[in-house]
Structure 1
């Protein structure tokens, strides 16, 4: 993948992370990013799906909180902690692969 494509994917990942902080569903995220960030919904959906595959535990927890009553939803602080773990684990995996 060329650098500009990789940069674009990373930008979409970053914007999805911001949507997660605001506890948006996949559909809400796609709507907001397509409208306000001029990002194609198919790109958002694809990147979201790949993030789900790579971070199954996070998204399972996130989905559980999304479907809970509002009082049981994940707080912004909890979401940030999980996102930081997800980012750290992703970076660690890449470092391990680069070191091989």
Structure 2
């Protein structure tokens, strides 16, 4: 690969990573998605992701916090749904 084709490939990977970010994917989820859907080796995705993190430190810190908040909200929602389901099952047993 020449310099221009390498740079073009990296820009394409960066663009695909940005699409993954829109879908709130983790680095690991993004690596898996690009590997299976775009035939991009996980090491390439990981390397480009790390460079993006270096260049956009504040964004990725906020992104990480946002993902943690989403996971926490989902866990809370699942706990509440389980409590409701358990309560309903108990009520129907009575």
For normalisation by structure 1, the TM-score amounts to 0.68
Structure 1 runs of 4+ aligned residues shifted over 3 Å read 69-72
Gaps of 5+ in 1: 73-100
Aligned match of 2:80: none
Q: CA deviation at 1:69?
A: 3.3
Pair 1:5–1:35, CA change in 2 (3 A): same
- The alignment's C-alpha RMSD in Å is 1.9
1:68 equivalenced with 2:63 (yes/no): no
Q: Give the structure with the higher percent helix.
A: 2
1:35 equivalenced with 2:44 (yes/no): no
Gaps of 5+ in 2: 74-94
Q: In structure 1, how many angstroms separate the alpha carbons of the residues matched to 2:60 and 2:3?
A: 28
How do 1:48-87 and structure 2 match up within 5 A? 48-70=49-71
- For residues 64-95 of structure 1, what are the alpha-carbon distances to aligned partners after superposition, in whole Å with 9 as ceiling and x for unaligned? 001113586xxxxxxxxxxxxxxxxxxxxxxx
State the structure with bigger RCO (CA 8 A, min sep 6), 1 or 2: 1
